[in-house]
Amino acid sequence: MTRVVNDEGLNLLFREARTHTVWRDQPVEDSLLQQVYELARMGPTSANMCPLRVVFVKTREAKEKLKPCLDAGNVDKTMKAPVTAILAMDIHFYEKLPQLFPHVDARAWFKDLPENVLEYIALRNSSLQGAYFMLAARALGLDCGPMSGFNNAMVDAAFFAGTTIKSNFLCNLGHGDASKLHPRSPRLSFDEACRVV
């Protein structure tokens, strides 16, 4: 039997899911954040490397630490969001491969690669995981507001100093105020974006 997501699920995940910037005053429990991660982690990555690392910025103190790193246009929406996830990546993801891909010595495939190549690989795979993360959040009833308008070096210094972890993008999480949304921007049609050869 072919199993598919029903129309209601497709609406929730895709057709009616929007990028939110205005948040209702409704808290997000830590247990829900954990559920989001536990779904998102199941999405595929190269050699199951799972480079994504997440910091959930929730307290006032942590939000204040994030504030100076943000582009001006992203400050208000981020400070008012119940949670801001820093979706980051461990450039030395290969150190976890004995745990994550135990049937071969996958660590040896990556450990001597130059840092810029490791970063490229981590960026691809953590971006995929970031997309799984947003779909997981939407599946669990949260709204998302992804952002790349921030200073990565400042976020890395503030939250990941002395580690091999670097920020990829930010994602505000909460319950959005749909009445404040602009009309949805168009997407490319199948014929504009795809071809079957």
Helix count and strand count (H, E) for the chain: 9, 4
Interface residue with ligand FMN, options 37, 109, 160, 169 (CB under 6 A): 169
Q: Which is nearer to ligand FMN, 9 or 98 (CB)?
A: 9
**Least Å from the CB of residue 170 to ligand FMN:** 8
Q: Please tell me whether residue 180 binds ligand FMN under the rule CB under 6 A.
A: no
Residue 19 lies near ligand FMN (rule: CB under 6 A): yes
Question: Could you say whether residue 116 binds ligand FMN (CB under 6 A)?
Answer: no
d(C-alpha 145, C-alpha 152), whole Å: 17
Min. distance of Cβ 74 from ligand FMN in angstroms? Answer: 5
Rounded CA-CA distance 24/175 in Å is 6
Beta strand pairing call for 52-57 and 143-147: unpaired
For position 149 contacting ligand FMN by CB under 6 A, the verdict is yes
Determine how many CB atoms are found less than 10 A away from the CB of residue 110.
19
Q: Is 11 in the site for ligand FMN (CB under 6 A)?
A: no
The answer to whether 101 touches 47, Cβ cutoff 8 Å, is yes
